Structures are given as structure tokens and as C-alpha cells.
């Protein structure tokens, strides 16, 4: 079994290599076959298809009516699927994959990682997501925290260069300010630290003694500890890269350092610091404090959003309102759950929470803790010691460890579909979240229990704990689906036809978009589409009003997505009526007819020269004959 998982991990890291070495197997659905073909007919259809494609195809079986299982050598699966998609007789073609038992890492402590499995109500079902993807080395998650212990065997293979953004040396504890060394030296408070005037000026005079937390090392392990390496634990995203960014010291970290670190992690410029050579797609903030989201945080988050960087933040551990920066718009705010799916007592709650995930809870009042979040750590109580792991006797709990589960799920989703933006990730995580269960022995949030054994607990609602319980398997399956997009004008004029184009739609690597279906959702009478089943179509606009059109796309694996587009159509404007300018008068306005009067005068000149003199007649002479001035002599 170990050999299988080692092979599977290698295959995931080099899928194109594997495809080139193995025969390409596909399942093809023919358009014109509603009933099953006889074997001889099926073989003949296979032969005909092979001739058109110029590929040697071997017929294997008929999985369903009109469906053929085929095999080809000396061609990659991607190339074969692409060529099949272009054949007019093929309705769809998908890879015929070898399926195995559920992917389960061989990490020695994986059995204790209940929060990744499917045995408890609130567990995130990462084991189901791993059947689709286990992470990708091109996806980077920045962990903004206390730094990291880079020698930990479950983290060392996953690291990319990070940075230390703590400006104040006393807070940092490493003797200097910002530098390119994100190593966690320990955030302990001993007698020397308690009497340090510089540290007291930052943290206050009543500093309490504390051991080093190794918080960043713990958070990083939840996100992406190396999986299936026969060592320790598995992270949510096995093969994702971790970027350690140090922002928290002896008693925390300043917003200015955190915001600078957020921007640097996402590839934005920070004065005095070189650009990040490996920008992150996901930024994890397992930190926070009271108060509303500030304009500074909001600006940084919006700048990151524009660069397709998702910010994930823990809701807080104060039972009260969601803390900052989790309460900032456009972040993925994560609340904490008990193993049974109700809100864990200490988790903050409120409308700003997007989704909730296990945060760890002990049930018993004595050790061992029954449901901690086991992860990577260090044995040193002050300065670093041996690499180790948390467990029931050294429990790890808090929404600080709910957030990295969501960050890891986002990394898996990006591994499946790199084209997803932050809003896509948030929408799909929320839409696939599982409903909260109900415990009749506790109140419904925002009211919380007050008992000694259940203080702070309550039944979650979608207005207090987010859309539901984080579901890694469903979220990654949703991410693997294609992303529909429509390119078209937003305004037009009645009586015209505009083009709607779905060419910007994308599919997961290894898949192609094979079907488009355009429909008019709402429109004035007479509206019509020129083609309902093509990548692009024309929309005829007979009258003014609002038009809403939907496209549904389907990829070669049968997954689908849809997008809608609205067009506002104004009434057609009648062309202006043009009039001939007057021939007399002084002024401009003659336009192109200005030559007409001189020409008429020129033609009339001989006649004018011969015209008799016309006399004015008095009333007495009214009956006398006179020369008719309107005719020539």
C-alpha cells in the first residue's frame, strides 16, 4: 500500500509524464446513438472514428447505450480528448480513469487528525477532496504569523522564501527589525522580557510570563504539512507551498507590519523591501483584535483582491463580535465548531462569518483532550527545541486553526482550477458548505449557553456562523467544474443584434469545454438567439427593455457551470430630417447647395440682358396694357 501511495504522489506531481507513458483510455458518447450498438457495429464505429482522427483506437467495451470505451497508444490523454471534442459525431469524451480506495495518507499521526476525515459531524472531509487533488506546488499559501521553524520535517519540503516584517527589535525578539529571515525565535515572556522597558513601552507594564507558542509553525502544519511521507501528520493541501511571513512577536504585531506583510505576500510593492519572487494566491491570518475593519486593512484587502489573492482570517476567540481583520469585506472569515457541529464556546460569531470549521474542543475537563487540532510544533518552552507535534496531552485549539483549514481547502481548489478568483473561491466554499446540526440542549446563536460545561456554546445559524460547515470534498469538486463567462456589451439599441461570446470560459486542466447551451431568461417579446448550442451566439433585440441571457457550459468530464449577462436596450433613435437651405439671404447654411444660385444666375444672364423695362403703374393706369415682365419679347 505504501508503494501505491508513493507512486500516486509522484503521478500527481507529474501528471503529464504519466499520461505520456500509459495508454490513453477514454469513454466516448456518440451523438446519434440512443440505443446500444451490436458489438460488430460498435467496432465499426470505433474504426470509423479512428480513421477520421488518424489515430489507432482499440475498442474495449460499451459502458452504456451509444457509449464506447476506447484505448489509444502513443498519444497523451489531453491530446486525445481534444481531438475527440472536435469530432461532430462525439457528444462528449472523458478520461477512463483507474479508481482506487479513498486516498488516505500514510502519515503516522493521521488517525488522530479527526478534523480532516469524515467520522465526526464537523470534520471537513479532506479525505474526499484528496481523491480529486492533493495540492500543487505552484500554489503558495502565505502564513502571516510568528514565523516558522524551518527544520520541521513536515514543513521543510513545503517552504518557499518568506520575510520578517516586525519593525521593532524588542517586539521581534531576534535583535533586529525587518529582514528576509522569517524564523520563529520564540515569543516567550520571561523575567528579562518583563523588565525590558522597550518591550513594556509596546506591550504594557503588566506583562505575564508565557512559554513560546510556535503558533506559526502550528498554523502552517494545518495548511500544508507534507502528506503521505510516512512522517507525522498531513496538511489539508499536501503539495501546496508555504510562505512564512513573520508579523507577530512577544505580545502580538502591529497593523502596519501586518498590512505591509499582506501586500508583500500578494506580490504588491512595499517600500524598502524587494518584491516577493513567489507571490501567494492565499493569505492566512490566524490573528485579530477588537474593533471595526479599518480603511487601511480594507485598502490592502481590495488591492489583493484585484491581484486574485484570497485573504482568509479567523473570526476570533472571544465569544463576542467577529474581530478585525476577519470583519473586513471580501475576506473569508472562518468561525469555530465543536466536533458535533455546534459553535465552540470561545468562537466569535456574527454576520461577517462566511463559513465555520473545527476549532478543537476537549469535552472532558482533564487531559487528554478528546478533539484537539493536532499539528506541527516545537518542543522548546522558550528557545527552539526538537521538532514535535501537538496531541491530546498538549492540545491545540482555537479559531486560529479553523482558518488554515479553509486556507488549505482554497489551495486545493486552486490546484484543481487555477482560474478561480477570490470571489469564486468564497462563493464555492459557501455554496458547498453542509448545513449546521441542532442540539436541543443548548440555545440558538446569538444566544449562548451559560453552564459550566457548555459556556458560550450555541446552535449555529447562517446569520451567526456562516453558510455552513466547511466541506473540502464538495468545495474541491465544485472548483473542478468549469467556470462560465460571457463577453458581450452591456447596452445596445433596439432593432440590432449583438454577439454573446463564451470563449472566456475555462475548464480544469486536462478537461475541455464540450457543450454550450444559451437560453433567454427574460426579455421583451420577440427576442431570439441565432444559435443556442454554439460557443457564441447572436441576440436579436426587437424592442427597448432589459434582456437577461444565460449560458450553461459542460466540460469533458460532465461537470457544468453557468453565467448570466444583462443587456439594457434603449429605443432606436430616428435619423434627423434634413432640409434644403434657402437660396436667398446672406448667412451661411448653404452647405453643398451653395453653388446652385451662382449657376442659375449664369444661365439666366442672356435673358436678363434682353428683358424689357417694366414700369411701375399707378392706380389710374391699371387698365392700360403693359409689358408682361414674366415673358420674353
Q: What number of CA atoms fall less than 13 Å from residue 235's CA on the CB side? A: 37
Pick the catalytic residue from 234, 387, 400, 402: 400
Phi, psi (rounded to 5 degrees) for 621: -100, 20
Of 274, 278, 253, residue with least CA distance to 265: 278
Residues 430/413, Cβ–Cβ less than 8 Å: no
What's the CA gap between 124 and 215, in Å, rounded?
22
Q: How far is CA 595 from the centre of its chain?
A: 67
Neighbours of 359 (CB within 10 A): 33
Phi, psi (rounded to 5 degrees) for 612: -70, 160
187: annotated active-site residue: no
Give 159's DSSP letter.
B
400: annotated active-site residue: yes
Beta strands in 385-522 (DSSP E): 387-389, 491-493, 496-501, 513-522
| CA-based radius of gyration for the chain | 36
565: annotated active-site residue: no
Handedness of CA 86, 92, 96, 101 (dihedral sign): positive
What's the CA gap between 120 and 531, in Å, rounded?
49
Pick the catalytic residue from 78, 107, 136, 145: 145
Of 460, 479, 456, 481, residue with least CA distance to 469: 460
What's the CA gap between 352 and 322, in Å, rounded?
7
Residues 6+ apart with CB under 8 A from 60: 25, 68, 69, 70, 71
Indicate the length of the chain as a whole number.
Answer: 633
Interior/surface letters 498-529, b for 16+ CB within 10 angstroms, e for the rest: bebebeebbbbbbbbbbbbebeeeebeeebeb
Q: Which residue has the cell 502552517?
A: 220
Residues 141/281, Cβ–Cβ less than 8 Å: yes
Give 402's DSSP letter.
T
Pick the catalytic residue from 59, 215, 339, 565: 215
Active site positions, annotated: 145, 215, 400
Amino acid at each position: 500500500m505504501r508503494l501505491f501511495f508513493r507512486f500516486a504522489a509522484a503521478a500527481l506531481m507529474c501528471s503529464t509524464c504519466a499520461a505520456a507513458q500509459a495508454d490513453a483510455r477514454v469513454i466516448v458518447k456518440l451523438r446519434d446513438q440512443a440505443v446500444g450498438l451490436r458489438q460488430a457495429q460498435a467496432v465499426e464505429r470505433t474504426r470509423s472514428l479512428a480513421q477520421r482522427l488518424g489515430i489507432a483506437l482499440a475498442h474495449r467495451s460499451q459502458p452504456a447505450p451509444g457509449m464506447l470505451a476506447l484505448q489509444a497508444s502513443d498519444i497523451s490523454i489531453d491530446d486525445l480528448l481534444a481531438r475527440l471534442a472536435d469530432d461532430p459525431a462525439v457528444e462528449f469524451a472523458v478520461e477512463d480513469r483507474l479508481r482506487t480506495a479513498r486516498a488516505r495518507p500514510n502519515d503516522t499521526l493521521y488517525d488522530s487528525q479527526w478534523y480532516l476525515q469524515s467520522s465526526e459531524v464537523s470534520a471537513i472531509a479532506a479525505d474526499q477532496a484528496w481523491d480529486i487533488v492533493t495540492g500543487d506546488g505552484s500554489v503558495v499559501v502565505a502564513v502571516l504569523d510568528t514565523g516558522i521553524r524551518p527544520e520541521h520535517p513536515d514543513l521543510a519540503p513545503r517552504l518557499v522564501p518568506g520575510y520578517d516584517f516586525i519593525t521593532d527589535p524588542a517586539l521581534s525578539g531576534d535583535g533586529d527589525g525587518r529582514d528576509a529571515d522569517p524564523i520563529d525565535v520564540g515569543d516567550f515572556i520571561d523575567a528579562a522580557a518583563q523588565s525590558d522597558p522597550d518591550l513594556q513601552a509596546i506591550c504594557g507594564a503588566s506583562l505575564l510570563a508565557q512559554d513560546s507558542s510556535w503558533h506559526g509553525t502550528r498554523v502552517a502544519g494545518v495548511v500544508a504539512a507534507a502528506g503521505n511521507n510516512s512522517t507525522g501528520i498531513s496538511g489539508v493541501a499536501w503539495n501546496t507551498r508555504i510562505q512564512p511571513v513573520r508579523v507577530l512577536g512577544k505580545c502580538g504585531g502591529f497593523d502596519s507590519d501586518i498590512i505591509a506583510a499582506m501586500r508583500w505576500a500578494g506580490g504588491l510593492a512595499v517600500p524598502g523591501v524587494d518584491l516577493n519572487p513567489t507571490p501567494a494566491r492565499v493569505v492566512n491570518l490566524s490573528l485579530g483584535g477588537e474593533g471595526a475593519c479599518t480603511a487601511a486593512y480594507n485598502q490592502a484587502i481590495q488591492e489583493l483582491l484585484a491581484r486574485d489573492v484570497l485573504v482568509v482570517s479567523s473570526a476570533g476567540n472571544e465569544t463576542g463580535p467577529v474581530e478585525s481583520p476577519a470583519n473586513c469585506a471580501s475576506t473569508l472569515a472562518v468561525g469555530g465548531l465543536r466536533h458535533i457541529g455546534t459553535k465552540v464556546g470561545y468562537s466569535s460569531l456574527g454576520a461577517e462569518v462566511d463559513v465555520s470549521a473545527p476549532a478543537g474542543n476537549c469535552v472532558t475537563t482533564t487531559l487528554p483532550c478528546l478533539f484537539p487540532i493536532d499539528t506541527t510544533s516545537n518542543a522548546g518552552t522558550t528557545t527552539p527545541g526538537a521538532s514535535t507535534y501537538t496531541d491530546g496531552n498538549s492540545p491545540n485549539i482555537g479559531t486560529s486553526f479553523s482558518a488554515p483549514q479553509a486556507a488549505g481547502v482554497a489551495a486545493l481548489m486552486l490546484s484543481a482550477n487555477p482560474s478561480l478568483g477570490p470571489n469564486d473561491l468564497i462563493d464555492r466554499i459557501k455554496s458547498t458548505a453542509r448545513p449546521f446540526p441542532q442540539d436541543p440542549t443548548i440555545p440558538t446563536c446569538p444566544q449562548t449557553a451559560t453552564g459550566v460545561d457548555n459556556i458560550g456554546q450555541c446552535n449555529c445559524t447562517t446569520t451567526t456562523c456562516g453558510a455552513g460547515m466547511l466541506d473540502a470534498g464538495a468545495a474541491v469538486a465544485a472548483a473542478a467544474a468549469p467556470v462560465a463567462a460571457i463577453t458581450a456589451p452591456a447596452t445596445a439599441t433596439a432593432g440590432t443584434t449583438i454577439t454573446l461570446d463564451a470563449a472566456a470560459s475555462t475548464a480544469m486542466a486536462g478537461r475541455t469545454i464540450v457543450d454550450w447551451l444559451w437560453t433567454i431568461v427574460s426579455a421583451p417579446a420577440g427576442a431570439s438567439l441565432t444559435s443556442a448550442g454554439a460557443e457564441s451566439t447572436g441576440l436579436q433585440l426587437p424592442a427597448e427593455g432589459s434582456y437577461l441571457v444565460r449560458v450553461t457550459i459542460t466540460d469533458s468530464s460532465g461537470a457544468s457551470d453557468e453565467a448570466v449577462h444583462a443587456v439594457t436596450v434603449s429605443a432606436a433613435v430616428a435619423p434627423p430630417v434634413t432640409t434644403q437651405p434657402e437660396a436667398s439671404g446672406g448667412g451661411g447654411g448653404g452647405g453643398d447647395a451653395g453653388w446652385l444660385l451662382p449657376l442659375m444666375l449664369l444661365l439666366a444672364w442672356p435673358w436678363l440682358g434682353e428683358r424689357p423695362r417694366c414700369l411701375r403703374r399707378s392706380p389710374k393706369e391699371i387698365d392700360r396694357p403693359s409689358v408682361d415682365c414674366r415673358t420674353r419679347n
